[in-house]
Amino acid sequence: MKTAGDSARVTNHAIAGLLLLARAFPQRLIAQREHRWLQLRREQAPADLEGQTVLIIGVGAVGGAVARFAQALGMRVIGVRRAPQRAGDPVDEMHGPARLPELLPRADWVLPACPYDAATHHLLDARSLGAMRRGAGIINVADAGLTDTAALYAALQSGQIGSAYLADFATTSLAADAPLRTHPNVIVAPVVD
């Protein structure tokens, strides 16, 4: 059974992933290990999160907490869940799952935080990833089965997806030799039990 502490831990991972990728920390850490100074010119620097759009798939305990944080940063939040929007939901828009294909191209960041089941298996597949805005980021703090990892790797290689943060759960862990583990624009972070 999940507890409030579990939700808080996963929420913290989502927020950390968003901030790390938004500020190009994977590239900065590579440069640091190589003893290089990564000087980005203004036009190369990552855009500020303010004004960007995050699409949260599953606005429950974790998705809702991330949505509040994103709004505090000045981000636009689009929520997707089966239940309709309620007063106090921290989203600018709420849509049902059937609208996901038309929402993906609007997002700078896609954050699946929904339960994993037969209906959500590979929710982010090659078609979904291809529909996203070029260079968009993914923050997957839900089950790894929500993302087709082979399609994600291909999308990262082509530049269709700019970066990804994958919370690695013991129950759905990536293989030790998975190419995503060494991709320069990916962070794989274990979630502490």
Residue 30: partners with Cβ closer than 8 Å, 6 or more residues away: 184
Residues pairing with 94 in the sheet = 79
pLDDT at 1 over 90: no
Binned at pLDDT 50, 70 and 90, residue 6 comes out as confident
183: enclosing H helix or E strand: none
Using an 8 Å Cβ cutoff, are 168 and 189 in contact?
yes
pTM for the structure as a whole: 0.91
* Model confidence pLDDT, tens digit, residues 97-135: 999 999 999 999 999 999 889 999 999 999 999 999 999
Q: Where do the structural domains in the chain lie, given as residue ranges?
A: 4-190
* Model confidence pLDDT, tens digit, residues 37-57: 877 665 655 678 999 999 999
Q: How far is Cα 104 from Cα 124, in angstroms, rounded to an integer? A: 10
Comparing CA positions, the residue from 189, 156, 187 lying closest to residue 173 is 189
Task: Give me the residue label for tokens 């030799």.
Answer: 177
- Which CATH architecture does the domain made up of 4-190 adopt? 3-Layer(aba) Sandwich (3.40)
